[in-house]
Amino acid sequence: MSLNALFPKLSLPLRGLQLLRSRTLTASSRPYGAVAQARSVLETELESIRVAGTWKGERVITSKQGAHISVDGSSGDILNFCANNYLGLSSHPEVIQAGIEALQNYGAGLSSVRFICGTQDLHKKLEQKLAQFHEREDCILYASCFDANAGLFEVLLGPEDAVLSDELNHASIIDGIRLCRAKRLRYKHMDLNDLEDKLKESQSSRLRLVVTDGVFSMDGDVAPLVGICDLAEQYGALVFIDECHATGFLGIRGRGTDELLGVMDRVHIVNSTLGKALGGAAGGYTVGPKPLIDLLRQRSRPYLFSNSLPPPVVGSATRAVELLLASNEIAQSMAAKTMRFRNGMTQAGFTIAGAAHPICPVMLGDARLASLMADDMLKLGVYVIGFSYPVVPKGKARIRVQISAAHTDSDIDRTVDAFIQTGRKHGVIS
Ligand code: PLP
């Protein structure tokens, strides 16, 4: 919650409050009234999070990201099962080397947005490779996929248009849609009948855009893209997918959910991230029709008003994409590992949501239980994290396990054994 939301009447930005506080403390030992009030409101809010058991602590990793990591406060080698490092490329030697070379040849950063003096040939090269990878006309880079989602809808859709969005879409899509002036219709999660109703309801709109995550990150479920594309074609709508949890490893060549479901030529716009399977550094992008990408370069606010991606990040991501363009071996290596984990856990009596995706949510229900179990897993040398409200709905707390191509079979078996031990201790399984 923002401070302005807390104090609609005062409407003081945080920096202003900090300044007031430091001035007041030097001028007098008495705290300035508004600051004391702000502290009290904030402390109450923080306490309510603690009491609800939904406090999100941050464990500190003291090594590279990878399947095996070091964690501050825990001794020895820790198995990491909660990164979005689906292909293990975050610490791939060639990806690291490409980052080092880009740093040496192109510097630490651009100190500029793209259209002033922030475009290097390496940004153009990565955009070209990503367009090639997704088999789309063009690509535009952003500092993150959050930005790509924040910057797209407002540019494409006006008040005469409509956006039809799955109710469980990622927060950044929801925020991006809030910024646009199109008519907003939210359809029930993956419900094609409800989507059709909303398409009928919006028939008078100029452009209509169906918006869905390709894979939903909390449940690991895959959007019914064939049905969505059928309906979109029937009612004359465009289709957008967010591929953050699919790019690089779903589909025979790792191109994503659209490849997996055979609809690459029927999905019009794709947003995705460089911060997960594609090297894990940072950055996001949109691929799609050239006129759309051209217009985004002119009008998309997170692109126009935010710094260019740093050269080392671009260098590493480019190498990651090149590795995937050259071979589908890494992308394919993950499916068997995912099934090994899912089968082991299901046989032990756990409920795992989703199907056949490396996001394997171990469903527990209670927020505190999820958090306690995650702590106990770490004591057994396995780093996993409990997810609870507001990240997932109330009563649907879970530990979200994520499989990586970098995990070995024995890493997976060790983790299943640790879950069995911890699950028995907490009465989750018998
Ligand atoms: N979309 C989805 C579905 C995500 O899971 C995420 C990241 O958590 C994002 C967008 C934002 O990606 P980025 O980290 O590149 O901002």
> Could you tell me which residues come within 8 angstroms of residue 198 by beta carbon, excluding any fewer than 6 positions away?
164, 185, 186, 187
Q: Among 228, 239, 330, which residue's Cα sits nearest to residue 279?
A: 330
Ligand 1 proximity of 402 Cβ (cutoff 6 Å) = no
Cα 364 to ligand 1 centroid, rounded to whole Å: 24
Cα 23 to ligand 1 centroid, rounded to whole Å: 39
Ligand 1 proximity of 145 Cβ (cutoff 6 Å) = yes
pLDDT recorded at residue 355: 82
pLDDT recorded at residue 3: 39
pLDDT recorded at residue 331: 86
Name residues of the chain where pLDDT drops below 50: 1-25, 27-28
Strand order in the sheet with 382-383: 68-69, 78-80, 382-383
Residue 245 among the catalytic residues: yes
CA distances from 302 to 49, 145, 157, 178 (A): 31, 10, 16, 15
Give the separation between CA 272 and CA 69, rounded to whole angstroms: 26
Probe residue for ligand 1, chosen from 141, 217, 250, 278 as the CB with the greatest number of ligand atoms within 8 Å: 217
Ligand 1 proximity of 213 Cβ (cutoff 6 Å) = yes
Cα 276 to ligand 1 centroid, rounded to whole Å: 8
pLDDT recorded at residue 10: 40
Q: Among 152, 151, 133, 146, which residue's Cα sits nearest to residue 318?
A: 133
Task: Tell which atom from ligand 1 comes closest to the C-alpha of 283.
Answer: 15
pLDDT recorded at residue 4: 42
pLDDT recorded at residue 345: 98
Ligand 1 proximity of 146 Cβ (cutoff 6 Å) = yes
Task: Tell which atom from ligand 1 comes closest to the C-alpha of 217.
Answer: 5
302: left (phi over 0), alpha (psi -120 to 50) or beta: alpha
Query: For the CA atoms of 422, 426, 427, 429, what is the dihedral angle to 10 degrees?
Result: -20
Ligand 1 proximity of 242 Cβ (cutoff 6 Å) = yes
Total count of residues recorded for the chain:
430
Task: Tell which atom from ligand 1 comes closest to the C-alpha of 145.
Answer: 15
Ligand 1 proximity of 144 Cβ (cutoff 6 Å) = yes
pLDDT recorded at residue 20: 45
The one catalytic residue among 276, 337, 357, 407: 276
pLDDT recorded at residue 31: 59
Probe residue for ligand 1, chosen from 65, 172, 285 as the CB with the greatest number of ligand atoms within 8 Å: 172
Report helix, strand or coil for 330.
helix
Ligand 1 proximity of 273 Cβ (cutoff 6 Å) = yes
Task: Tell which atom from ligand 1 comes closest to the C-alpha of 275.
Answer: 15
Give the separation between CA 320 and CA 139, rounded to whole angstroms: 16
How far is C-alpha 103 from the geometric centre of its chain's CA atoms? 26
pLDDT recorded at residue 414: 97
Question: What type of residue sits at position 89?
Answer: L
Nearest CA to ligand 1 atom 13: 145
Ligand 1 proximity of 217 Cβ (cutoff 6 Å) = yes
Probe residue for ligand 1, chosen from 86, 140, 145 as the CB with the greatest number of ligand atoms within 8 Å: 145
The one catalytic residue among 205, 217, 306, 404: 217
Residue 276 among the catalytic residues: yes
Residue 327 among the catalytic residues: no
Cα 310 to ligand 1 centroid, rounded to whole Å: 19
Cα 272 to ligand 1 centroid, rounded to whole Å: 8
